[in-house]
Each structure stands twice: as C-alpha cells, then as structure tokens.
Amino acid sequence: MDLSLLPKIIGALGLVFITIGVLTKDRVRENIYFIIGGCLLEVYSVYLRDMIFIPLQVIFVLASMFALYELKKRKKPFFLFWKKN
C-alpha cells in the first residue's frame, strides 16, 4: 500500500465523521463526532502543511470540546444544581 494514500484516507474519514455529526440529532454525540472528525482533519492538514487549516482545525476541535464539556456539565442530576462545590 502506498503510504502517501494514508493521510488522504484519514482526511476523508474526518469529513465523514463531521458529516455524521451534522446529521446527528443528539448534541453530545454531535460534538463527539466533531472532535473525532476535527482531529482526523488536523492530521491531514499537517500532512498538507497548510498554515490556514492547521490552526483552524485546532480551534474547531477546542470549540467542540468546550461545547461537549458544557453539555456534560448541564446534565448533572437536578439535586446537584443547588449544591455548592
């Protein structure tokens, strides 16, 4: 197998994961798909040495991680909302 094909396959998988995330109705799963797809596209961006898409993908993944964190934080059981940490 030609190793130069591997980054292209990784990039294509990244696009597939992001597309699945867009089509998913569940917000938590949506962000998980975005994180996976963004990381895979980051690998492809590094392979291309594209100085625009490398930081763009980092920001995209960080934004998706933050959104996932916020969603998980909100899903605490109701009785924990009034409790101070």
Q: Where are the domains of the chain?
A: 3-80
pTM for the whole thing?
0.83
Q: Got the DSSP string for 31-43?
A: HHHHHHHHHHHHH
Residue 1: predicted pLDDT:
64
Q: What percentage of the chain has pLDDT greater than the value 70?
A: 86
pLDDT in tens, 48-68: 999 999 999 999 999 999 999
Residue 54 near residue 45 (C-beta atoms within 8 A): yes
pLDDT at 77 over 60: no
Mean pLDDT of all residues in the chain?
88
